Each structure stands twice: as C-alpha cells, then as structure tokens.
Homo-oligomer: A and B are copies of this chain.
C-alpha cells in the first residue's frame, strides 16, 4: 500500500457500511509494513469498540462441505435481513498454495449478496501475525455493522485455538464417517466445540451421517461439563448444506446458546477475558520483537538456543544468560 487515506476518513466510511473502505481497512491491518501498522492503529482507534456482532468460529477439514455450508447458511441469514461477514484463517495457505476462500466462486451466490461480505485469506502471512490480522479484521467488520461474523478455519489445531479465543461460539463441521473409517478430528478441537454439525445428511449418506452424529454425541457425553454450557450443550446434530435442511435448527441452537450466555453474563465475561488475553499477547509479542530487533541481543539468543539444542545448556540456564545480557549484566 503506497498511499493511505486519512484514518478518520476511512473509519467514517467503514462505519457507514462502505464495503470498499472495509476491504481497504482489512488490507491495511494485514500489511507488515511499519508505516501501515501506525495507520492501522490509528484506524482501530478511530473505529471504536461500541458495535458487537455475533462471532461464530467455524472449523472443518477440506471435504466436509464447508463452502457449501457457508453459502447455504449465509444465504439463509441474509434472507432474514442479517448482514453477514465471512473471514478465513488459514495459516497453511502460504504452504499449500490454496486459500480456503481463495476461490470465491464456490460461494457464488453469497459473494454477490449485498448483505454479505467475503474476505479470502491473504496468501502470505506468518503464523504469529495471523491472529492479530484476523482479530483486527473481525473488529473492522463489527465496526462496519455486520450482525454475524463467520470466522472460518481448516481444522489443523493451532488456528482453532486462536479462533476460539476470538469467537463467541465455536462450530465444528464434520462429514459422515463410513463404517470403521476414522474421522479426522484433531484431538483438542472437540474441546472447543459448542456445536458439532455432521454435514451431508442427504441421499445415500443420510443414515451414515446419523450414525456419525450419534457417535460424536456419545463422545461429547464422556467429556466434562463446562461452565459456559447450558443444558444439552455442547450438542451434535446432522445438517444438509446441499438440501438446506437442519440449518434453521442449527441457527436456533446458536441463538439459544448466545442468548443464554448473554443472560448469564458469560458472554461479557468471555469477551473481557478475550480482550485481556489479546492485550497481554500483543504486549508480549511486541516485547519479543523488540528483543529480536536488537542485533546484540539477537546474537545472544541465537548462541544460547544453539547451546540448548546441542544439549550443552539447560533451557533455564540459557534463558538466564540472555536475560542477563539484556539487563546489561555480564552473562
């Protein structure tokens, strides 16, 4: 980005619902350039934090029908007059070469819906930067007045943890498993799910989808109740994105869960814990960057880490040497 518009002006246009301004704002928060970062902070400051969307994290491995689900689910919501933004978190896209939402045409109708906004994930980002970029993009969509922000991710583990830290609800989309076939659910992702949706409950796969759903419902019952769950949650249910059934029931459940959490105060608690977490994380990452930008300290860290990896120094000892160097003491 060579020329940035004035942050106050851009903020005003984003809040007024200007989609091109929103896209421009997201490009700004995604940028790795130092001057863009200054402008991004000014933009976020000008946007404020008074508007809230329902943030839904959506995870599912390739092949479960995620694009079809987002298209059907999104169109159902826009059909009710809701404004829907879709963002993608895909730390692997730089490697695999293909972003989840890279091919917007897979969501052809939703992409052309004036009530929807779809943002493909950028092709090149470091994992550390993905969290901040996505979180700030969510904040921009909220400021732009969207009712629902869908944050989509690929089911590889680390990105789910990140998305769960910025979502109000977490939905896991699965495909029916055949017979003894293993389901590719990464351990730990089930931990985060508020709702498990077994997709493709249509045609020949319908009975398989119901068996898979029952299996997961059983697995969920084996896990401990969380304080953020009302009765019967987390739950597993079948949907068909293709035939568009089960989507209204899933949306009812999401709203029920969101309302219950709002009524009990858990919603606010979680949001406060999330902003507190990200504030501390940002400060910590900034500190580490400060350290890494100092060549002498960087040298100390590289030397110390090499000694840790060669087995010559215990991690505590090596860390103590680096910190001593930082304080200007002899290591």
Contact = CB atoms under 8 A, between A and B. Distances in A.
A28 to B, nearest CB: 12
B185 A187 contact: no
A191 B223 CA distance: 12
A9 interface: no
Contacts of A312: 49
Interface in A281-331: 281-284, 286-288, 290-291, 301, 304-305, 308-309, 311-320, 322-323, 326-327
A112 interface: no
Interface of A: 37, 40-41, 44-45, 47, 49-50, 132, 135-136, 139, 182-188, 190-192, 215-216, 218-219, 221-226, 272, 275-276, 278-279, 281-284, 286-288, 290-291, 301, 304-305, 308-309, 311-320, 322-323, 326-327
Given A49-B313, A219-B219, A316-B41, A326 B287 contact: yes
A286 B222 contact: no
A215 B222 contact: yes
Given A224-B186, A279-B308, A323 B284 contact: no
